Amino acid sequence: MSKRNRRNYTREQKSDAVRMVREVGNLAKVARDLDLTESSLRNWVKQDGIDDGTDPRAR
């Protein structure tokens, strides 16, 4: 299996993807729909929670 080329995303694109995960409630589906890896999207969701203070690790 070959590696994917590294792609860059803007803050807005990441924010939109995180919003979709929260609305849909299914990270795997959103990742497939947006052609993202689940691990990248999971990291974006985790970081968003830390940034906005909703993640317990932010305290």
Please list the pLDDT of the chain residue by residue as tens digits (59 residues): 677 788 899 999 999 999 999 999 999 999 999 999 999 999 999 999 999 888 766 55
Q: What is the pLDDT of residue 9?
A: 95
The pTM of the whole model exceeds 0.75: yes
The residues, any chain, with a CB within 8 Å of residue 48's CB and separated by 6 or more, are: 14, 15, 18
Q: What is the pLDDT of residue 27?
A: 97
* Numbers of helices and strands, H then E, in the chain: 3, 0
Q: What is the pLDDT of residue 11?
A: 95
